[in-house]
Structure 1
């Protein structure tokens, strides 16, 4: 929500909560509060985006962690392959 507003932050939060919990149309709620309906709609939209943002951030973190884990698995598989070849080589050398 914008930094410079004639409405206090607590009023905006309460208005958004009222708009979400009410069965009345957004226009009617806005009219009862003495706020332009587009202003109230913007407040509701901004609040919804703010709630969605943490979920999106968590998804990004999960994707980064998944990418790092896949890279680590590839490294471990390469190391395992090298060790298997080394073990086969030394077993062959010991058999001579």
Structure 2
């Protein structure tokens, strides 16, 4: 993953894009970033300023911070997919052994 640009660089890029002197594509090219990158910054700035709906930068940061303890917990406990399925007991004398009781007489009478 590339190193993120400093916040001041992002802020200035958004300001320049909003002046409208250059197209977003031309401005992005002159700044050495992709058009989609600059468009994302413009959209996020609008969200942060309350002009557009969505998660603000602060809300996204909070979600990441809240997610960290959960990931630490899930790393320590087995996932649901890694839990062994139910297996019959290995002890043939156990009452739930598959060949005890009726199932044994049914299988031998055929």
Return the TM-score normalized by structure 1.
0.48
Ranked by relative contact order (alpha carbons within 8 Å, sequence separation 6 or more), the top structure is 1
